Structure 1
Amino acid sequence: MISPDQRSRRTLLCAVASGISSAVLAGCTDGTGEGDAESDRDDEGADEAADDADPPDAEWEDVDAIELEAHADDGWVGRRPAPIDGETNPDLALYEGREYEFIWTNADGDVHNFAIWEDGDEPLVSTAFVDTEGEETTTVVEAGSEMDVYLCETHEREMVGSLEVRAE
């Protein structure tokens, strides 16, 4: 015969196991019971689209200098102008035919340079490599429609950002 103490313990264990199973299964569905795997991918696509949004016109019209910090682990970190302050690998908007001063600082003492490449994966501008923490490098560039990305050529996967060249 089962004592009341054993029955209570078994009842409790069954209830806990049932609750855990329900919670796990509920987390696999969107509440309709259909377990739609597409919803996760749709959310990711929406996030990517928001990340690729064009920088607003007004924020970039008067910009003539762009300041970045080079971090091998964190990428390019924007400092100036205000719309990119603190942003990692920020999208930059340039106006075709205007000159821009790119100022970048080696923030970690790793080997870095600053380069602008066209979409055919050819460098248009490339600075010397710098490996001294705190060293600042400046280069002046005239924006052209062929410009596609800016990057560090030694960390091109971690340190790359988009360039949007706009017509005046």
Structure 2
Amino acid sequence: MTPQHTGRRAVLGGLAGLCTTASVAGCLGEDDADDDPEPVVDAAEELEGETDPEAWAGVETIRFDGYVGGWVGVEPTAIDRVENPTLVLREGSEYELVWENMDGVHHNIAFWDADEEVVSDYSSDGNETVGETESLAFRATAEMETYRCEYQRDGQRGDVVIVLEKA
């Protein structure tokens, strides 16, 4: 039996064909740059919740599930299964934010102003126990820009929109 010898031209031709196939497949496939971003946390279904102030009328309690990748809204329905949802709060209204640790990583929650300072000491102690909940009672103020976990600042952060009370 004679060993098979593959010539240089055959190898180069095969590589060229492979590169051409990969290039065409890339052109015909979905372009990730045009796709809408997807939630990082598997439990989330959306990245944008309802931000119409009417959808937030009467809300007093906000519930989140806490993961390293992001906060996932549970309640009100305007943020259900939304990752790092925008909170629409009425200035001067009192709220309770309750969150549950879902991954055993230490999390807390805090409201920050534009200078990335905690607003009015609105920051929870934090916990790292799966299933443990923590709550933070607060009054919505115009200084509130974002809410964040102070340990996973980039992954667990969302915006706050303050709505003025109608006179």
Structure 2 length-normalised TM? 0.71
SS of corresponding position for 2:127? coil
Task: Name the SS for the 1:147 alignment partner.
Answer: coil
Structure 2 residue runs of 5 or longer lacking an equivalent are 1-12, 38-46
Counterpart residue identity of residue 55, structure 2: E
> What is the match of residue 162 of structure 1?
159
Match of 1:96 in 2: 91
Distance 1:76 1:145 in 2: 22
Aligned twin of 1:151: 148
Match of 1:137 among 124, 134, 137: 134
The Cα offsets for residues 100-156 of structure 1, whole Å up to 9 and x where unpaired, read as 110011111110101110011101211102111111111110000000000100000
Partner of 1:65: 61
- Equivalence map 1:50-61=2 (5 Å): 55-61=51-57
Secondary structure of 2:128's match?
Answer: coil
Greater Rg, structure 1 or structure 2? 1
TM superposition outliers: structure 1 runs of 4+ over 4 Å: 51-54
Deviation, 1:61, is 1.2
CA RMSD of aligned residues (A): 3.2
Instruction: Indicate the percent of aligned positions where both proteins have the same amino acid.
Output: 32
Counterparts of 1:81 and 1:24 in 2: how far apart (Å)?
46
Per-residue deviation, residues 58-99 of structure 1 (Å, max 9, x unmatched): 211111110001101x31000000011111101110000000
Which has a greater percent of helix?
Answer: 1
Distance apart, 1:24 and its partner CA: 3.1
Work out the number of aligned pairs and report it. Answer: 140
Uncovered stretches (5+) of structure 1, i.e. residues with no partner = 1-12, 29-39
